[in-house]
Structure 1
């Protein structure tokens, strides 16, 4: 008779431990999933911000070019050659 009682208690303890492990696993999964979704949202927001900054830079560049005073053609050629060299260098620099 004592064998049946001890095996029943052991079986019950096994079930309790299994349920506790399941609950702990579900709680861990919840927090990991939540952190992952927040990270994805932050990445999307940062990409949108980068896109807006690129558009603002392009707009500023156009405004600056529109407000520049007229220069002689000879100086423009020298400036264009210099800008091409700078553009090549800028392409090599990684974006933030």
Structure 2
């Protein structure tokens, strides 16, 4: 009779351990799945950001290319003003 009670207890204990392991497994799966889905969302957002940055870089290149001739004329004017400032400085220095 004691053997029947012991074998019945072992079945209940093994069933309880199986249920606990199943619950722990489901909880772990839930958090892993949740983290994976969040990571996928973040990857999608980063990919869209990269696409937007590529478009912005392309637009900036177009703007720079469009403004390029104006920039070449501007340094000449800057050199002329620098030369005139140098002449003014020389005029201020007293000769010995």
> Same fold judged by TM-score > 0.5?
yes
Alignment: residue pair count:
71
Structure 2: tracts of 5 or more residues without a match: 73-96
Once residues 11 and 65 of structure 1 are traced to their aligned partners in structure 2, the CA distance between those partners, rounded to angstroms, is 80
Q: Which runs of 4+ in 1 moved over 2 A?
A: none
Q: Quick check: which has more Rg, 1 or 2? A: 2
- What is the root-mean-square deviation of aligned Cα atoms in Å? 1.2
Counterpart position of 2:27: 27
Structure 1: tracts of 5 or more residues without a match: 72-96
Deviation (angstroms), 1:46: 0.7
More helix by share: 2
Q: TM-score, normalised by structure 2?
A: 0.69
Counterpart position of 1:42: 42
Once residues 43 and 63 of structure 1 are traced to their aligned partners in structure 2, the CA distance between those partners, rounded to angstroms, is 30
Deviation (angstroms), 1:16: 0.1
